[in-house]
Amino acid sequence: MLLPVTDSKIVARRADIVAALETIVPGGVVSDKSGLSTFDSDALSAYHQMPLVCVLPADRHQVSEVLKYASAEGIPIVPRGAGTSLSGGALPREDGILIGMGRMKRILEIDYENGCVVVEPGVTNLNITKAVEAQGFYYAPDPSSQIACTIGGNVAENSGGLHCLKYGLTTNNLLGVTIVLPGGEIVTMGGKCGAQGGLDLLGLVTGSEGLLGIVVEVVVKILRKAPVTRTLMASFDTVQAAGTCVAAIIADGVVPAAMEFMDGRAAAAIESYNQPGYPAGAEAILIIDADGVEADVSYAVSRIVEIVAQSGGKSVEATDEKQRARIWSGRKAAFAAMGRLAPDMICMDGTIPRHALPQVLQEMEKLSEQYGLGFCNVFHAGDGNLHPLIIFDVMKEGEFERAEAFGADILRLCVKVGGVLSGEHGVGIEKRDLMTEMFSEADLDQQHRIKCAFDSQGLFNPGKVFPTLSACVEQGHIHVHGAQLPHPHLPRF
């Protein structure tokens, strides 16, 4: 993936920019090489880029002042939470200010009466749950990185997780956000009343990948923890049988809290890694959670057991909390387990209609042979969200490029069968150049016009999400700033 070309004029002004930021955020500017190297990548670790400078504001007013300054000076901005993006959303720019939101990590209010929590963006996903679990509540979206990822990042990426089949993505669990716009204005959308009195801009900014504004406060919904959760593990001799089983469960009207699929390769790798007890020789394994009140869960479990048997699978139920945790520990260690098979790996993220699963799996096998690279499949079967893991060795000539090409072909395949490029990781830099596979020029133009409505200078996270960046055009006029076209330094990809 091509990184945007650096504006050397901005880089030349680095000392002035650092000094100006130190005035705005005293003691919160990182400008030395070793400090900056901490921020040179996110979880899409194949890409590295040192930021021009990193600033760590302590409150919304500092964020606002930084953005006013950046806007006046025409300096690109890259927002960052905990840096756990798998799509390169927080990859810095050599000519850009990286704004790290980690210092703003206060829980401002816990409101059990109205079932919500008000937090600053740097609070981790898991810490929201930790703050309310003693009272029997939790925050539903649970991305795998929840121990580290921040709620601000979750809003930016519209993060999902294992349980979004039943409980939705971040966007379905928010009541309000306060963001700072590119010009420094602070705007609140929604709140405890759950209404906005106009367009649903809360829905728009959620998942906008740092292209529209910087989140400085979030109101999230919290839910009462289900009194009963039961976990089943089902194994199948063929991938097709597992696919049929998933479709039959959904069609039956049961809504599991989670339904995870692993192919035989993933299961074998995991079993040798942390021995969760996955049956040897299975070609596919499903892990299914049902939660709710006792009778609801009993009913769901009995239906699922029956459907698994009808689909030719064998199911076992975790008998206690310890075994439940053990079964899940395998799924959660999928990354680490695959990491043993090869030094490097990329995790793809596309969604397909569930009925296309057998076809997609077959074609992936062919691609694997064609590219000469191994892979395995773990995915959120309930909602058709695939996470193929491609393994390679970056030290071997050409393997990284082949792995990227393999991954891109998988995503093209997802789109071909009626699916999408990203189910939960976002587009970022990783899938940017594939956007034209899914969207026409007119589709992208409409999205780009919205980008311009927020950020006419094109300073927010440039180079991410959109494959081509043209100037903001409105009613036939081009917005010209400082006698220059916006982002003249960016190539037209």
* Residues 240-299 contacting another protein, CB under 8 A: 247, 250-255, 292-296, 298-299
Largest CA-CA distance found in the chain, in angstroms, rounded: 70
Applying the rule CB under 8 A, the residues between 87 and 126 that interact with another protein are 111-115
Applying the rule CB under 8 A, the residues between 429 and 468 that interact with another protein are 431, 435, 438-440, 442-447, 449-454, 465
Nearer to another protein, 31 or 208 (CB): 208
Q: How far is the CB of 393 from another protein (least distance, A)?
A: 30
Q: How far is the CB of 374 from another protein (least distance, A)?
A: 26
Q: CA 310, CA 305: separation in Å to the nearest integer?
A: 9
State yes or no: residue 341 binds another protein (CB under 8 A): no
State yes or no: residue 306 binds another protein (CB under 8 A): no
Nearer to another protein, 342 or 438 (CB): 438
Nearer to another protein, 249 or 391 (CB): 249
Q: In 3D, which of 218, 7, 196 has the Cα closest to residue 105?
A: 218
Rg (the chain; Cα; Å): 23
Stretch that binds another protein, among 72-80, 90-98, 267-275, 353-361 (CB under 8 A): 353-361
State yes or no: residue 346 binds another protein (CB under 8 A): no
Q: CA 262, CA 282: separation in Å to the nearest integer?
A: 10
Stretch that binds another protein, among 15-23, 78-86, 225-233, 314-322 (CB under 8 A): 225-233
Nearer to another protein, 35 or 418 (CB): 418
State yes or no: residue 418 binds another protein (CB under 8 A): yes
Q: Are 485 and 478 in contact, with CB atoms under 8 Å apart?
A: yes
Q: How far is the CB of 79 from another protein (least distance, A)?
A: 16
Q: Which of 15, 108, 147, 187 binds another protein (CB under 8 A)?
A: 187
Q: How far is the CB of 397 from another protein (least distance, A)?
A: 32
191 burial (CB, 10 Å; 0-12 / 13-18 / 19+) is middle
State yes or no: residue 421 binds another protein (CB under 8 A): yes
Provide the residue count of the chain.
Answer: 493
- 3-class SS at 390? strand
Q: Which two tokens mark 272?
A: 């040798």
Q: CA 88, CA 385: separation in Å to the nearest integer?
A: 19
Q: Which of 53, 90, 189, 284 binds another protein (CB under 8 A)?
A: 189
Q: What's the angle, vertex CA 170, arms to CA 472 and CA 251, rounded to 5?
A: 115
Size of the residue set binding another protein (CB under 8 A): 94
Q: Are 97 and 21 in contact, with CB atoms under 8 Å apart?
A: yes
Q: What's the angle, vertex CA 20, arms to CA 17 and CA 26, rounded to 5?
A: 125
Q: CA 371, CA 346: separation in Å to the nearest integer?
A: 14
Applying the rule CB under 8 A, the residues between 359 and 388 that interact with another protein are 380, 383-385
Q: Are 218 and 457 in contact, with CB atoms under 8 Å apart?
A: no
Stretch that binds another protein, among 52-60, 201-209, 387-395, 399-407 (CB under 8 A): 201-209
